[in-house]
A = this chain, B = another copy of it.
Amino acid sequence: MKTLLPVAMSDIHVHLEPRHVEELFGRGHALTKWRYLTIPGQFACRETVEVVGPSGRVPGAVVVGPARRQTQVEISLGNGLVLGIDPPLRESGRLQGTPGATLVGSAGSVVLESGVIAAARHIHMHPRDAREYGVADGQRVRVRVPGARGLVFEQVVVRVSEEYALEMHVDVEEGRAAGVVDFQLVELLG
């Protein structure tokens, strides 16, 4: 059974629904690809937004394309302290009952009623990977990061899809806490 897999850190970013792309960047605007992510078909855009909350603002949140069905803002707990928003820990796409925020783009702004989360740490796997690592979609596993700041993450959600490539994702605070270098190998402990 395989155990080693790469890890990457996600800084504050947003996924946008089509009408929000237009409201933030102008009528008929199409997102501009900056670089592909490890998730096939997903890309970081040149467009960024400022996220605004009750107590502060965080500029430079990268837009991740392509547009999605529902706008989602992924922040760290540290971002939350600046914004005055306490983000619930959620899996991507599970937005019911989440707090909102205001997004400011180059051509306008959008007031979200909900959509702000702290993303639960997770591993993306293709079904072939899931077989090779002996885990199943939705399973929670432990993952060890070696090194001077070594630690074992618990409560890591396995997410399996034909559309995923093998990679663990943590936020920047989780990554720094563990001394993670993007794309280093970590160990799935099961």
List residues of chain A with CB under 8 Å of any chain B CB.
Answer: 76-78, 89, 120-121, 148-155, 170-174, 176-179
Q: How far is the CA of A150 from the CA of B170 in the complex (A)?
A: 13
* Residues of chain B with a CB closer than 8 A to A89's CB: 148-149, 179
On whether the beta carbons of B149 and A151 are closer than 8 Å, the reply is no
Q: How far is the CA of A176 from the CA of B174 in the complex (A)?
A: 7
With A78-B172, A176-B173 as contacts: A154 and B155 at CB distance below 8 Å: no
Contact of A177 among B148, B150, B173 (CB under 8 A): B173
* Residues of chain B with a CB closer than 8 A to A78's CB: 78, 172-173, 176
* Residues of chain B with a CB closer than 8 A to A171's CB: 177
Chain A contact surface mostly: mixed
**Whole-angstrom distance from the CB of A63 to the nearest CB of chain B?**
21
Other A-B pairs, 5, CB within 8 Å; known A150-B155, A176-B177: A77-B176, A77-B179, A148-B155, A152-B152, A174-B177
Closest to A171 in B: B177
On whether the beta carbons of A151 and B151 are closer than 8 Å, the reply is yes
On whether the beta carbons of B176 and A178 are closer than 8 Å, the reply is no
On whether the beta carbons of B152 and A151 are closer than 8 Å, the reply is yes
**Whole-angstrom distance from the CB of A11 to the nearest CB of chain B?**
10
Q: How far is the CA of A89 from the CA of B179 in the complex (A)?
A: 10
* Residues of chain B with a CB closer than 8 A to A173's CB: 78, 172-173, 176-177
Q: How far is the CA of A151 from the CA of B178 in the complex (A)?
A: 10
Q: How far is the CA of A152 from the CA of B171 in the complex (A)?
A: 17
Closest to A88 in B: B148
Q: How far is the CA of A155 from the CA of B148 in the complex (A)?
A: 7
